[in-house]
């Protein structure tokens, strides 16, 4: 896939994928195999820094995050959490790392295989599209540990699959297959176990081939729909639409159509 090592990390592997004719794809692979990619705090910081580095890099158009065949991530690190008291949790506020993960502006695609549980599923739901291998298993089993989802699970799952099924998932800890979650609307597509990463990267390249300013504003508008009224959201969309008329790619896109040629995006 034309990957190259980006920088040294302990729990993740970061690389870039060339995409001739478009912007590159940034790839983050969770790599903590002995713990099924359980999300300890250092791993989450590495993911956050990698996301932010890609977000600031003008050569990157789309980000893919993946795990291993066996597990995207089996949740937050239970052994780490078992040691933390309420007061320590509150004062250290290490989980605030999730707030920065939430603010990434470029599109992120999750390439999931195996377990995406608890915080793992929350990291997946923070992504903008989800490509899942047939063998994937999704769930919020926190209830079995005496806790509840803490990184947006109660909110994002409910918005994605509705109250009735979200209640079932979170109150019983049930694990769902990729097919079930696809039918419930959480997942963009279910693909073969052998090709899930290539399929996710192909989708990322497709997005990275589009004009970057419009892509970014489109993501912003879609996410806005989750925390505003329809009136406010439509106004937000219209202002961003007007804003795009100041972009070089709006001129290029429309001229290319009129001149019956392919546009050459400047991502400006």
Catalytic center residues: 76, 119, 122, 142
Nearer to ligand DAK by C-beta: 77 or 249?
77
| b/e 159-189 (16+ beta carbons within 10 angstroms → b) | bbbeeebbeebbeebebbebebbbebebbbe
Among 16, 46, 77, 199, binds ligand DAK (CB under 6 A): 77
| Stretch of residues binding ligand DAK (CB under 6 A), selected from 32-40, 222-230, 237-245, 250-258 | 32-40
Residue labelled with tokens 């597509």: 189
Nearer to ligand DAK by C-beta: 15 or 121?
121
How many other CB atoms are there within 10 angstroms of residue 155's CB atom? Answer: 15
Whole-number minimum distance, CB 111 to ligand DAK, in Å?
18
Among 25, 28, 35, 203, binds ligand DAK (CB under 6 A): 35
Report DSSP state, residue 21: T
Is 169 a binding residue for ligand DAK by CB under 6 A? The answer is no
Tokens coding 100: 């920065």
Nearer to ligand DAK by C-beta: 119 or 253?
119
Indicate the Cα dihedral angle 179, 182, 187, 191, nearest 10°. 40
Q: Is 26 helix (H, G, I), strand (E, B) or coil?
A: strand
Whole-number minimum distance, CB 31 to ligand DAK, in Å?
14
Is 11 a binding residue for ligand DAK by CB under 6 A? The answer is no
Q: What is the C-alpha separation between 168 and 187, in angstroms, rounded?
A: 18
Q: What is the C-alpha separation between 229 and 234, in angstroms, rounded?
A: 9
Nearer to ligand DAK by C-beta: 41 or 202?
41
Q: What is the C-alpha separation between 85 and 234, in angstroms, rounded?
A: 44
Nearer to ligand DAK by C-beta: 94 or 224?
94
Subset of 108-147 contacting ligand DAK (CB under 6 A): 115, 117-119, 122, 141-142, 145
Indicate the pairing of strand 3-5 with strand 12-17. Answer: antiparallel
Is 61 a binding residue for ligand DAK by CB under 6 A? The answer is no
Interaction site with ligand DAK (CB under 6 A)? 35-36, 38, 74-79, 95, 98, 115, 117-119, 122, 141-142, 145, 150-151
């Amino acid at each position: 896939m034309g990957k190259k090592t980006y920088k040294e990390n302990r729990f993740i592997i970061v690389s870039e994928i060339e995409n001739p004719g478009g912007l590159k794809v940034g790839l983050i692979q969770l790599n903590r195999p002995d713990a099924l990619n359980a999300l300890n705090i250092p791993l989450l910081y590495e993911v956050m820094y990698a996301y932010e580095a890609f977000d600031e890099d003008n050569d990157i158009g789309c980000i893919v995050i993946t795990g291993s065949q066996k597990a995207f991530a089996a949740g937050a690190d239970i052994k780490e959490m078992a040691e933390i008291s309420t007061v320590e949790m509150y004062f250290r506020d290490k989980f605030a790392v999730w707030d920065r993960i939430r603010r990434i502006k470029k599109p992120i695609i999750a390439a999931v295989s195996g377990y995406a549980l608890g915080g793992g599923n929350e990291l997946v739901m923070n992504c903008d599209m989800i490509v899942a291998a047939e063998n994937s298993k999704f769930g919020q089993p926190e209830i079995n540990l005496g806790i509840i989802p803490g990184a947006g699970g109660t909110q994002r799952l409910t918005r994605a699959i509705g109250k009735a099924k979200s209640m079932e998932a979170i109150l019983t800890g049930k694990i769902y297959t990729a097919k079930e979650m696809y039918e419930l609307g959480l997942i963009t597509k279910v693909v073969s176990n052998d090709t899930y990463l290539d399929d996710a990267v192909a989708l990322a390249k497709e997005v990275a081939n589009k004009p970057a300013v419009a892509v970014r504003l489109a993501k912003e508008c879609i996410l806005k729909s989750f925390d505003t009224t329809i009136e406010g959201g439509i106004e937000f969309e219209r202002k961003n639409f007007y804003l795009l008329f100041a972009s070089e790619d709006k001129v290029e896109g429309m001229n290319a159509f009129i001149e019956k040629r392919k546009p050459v995006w400047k991502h400006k």
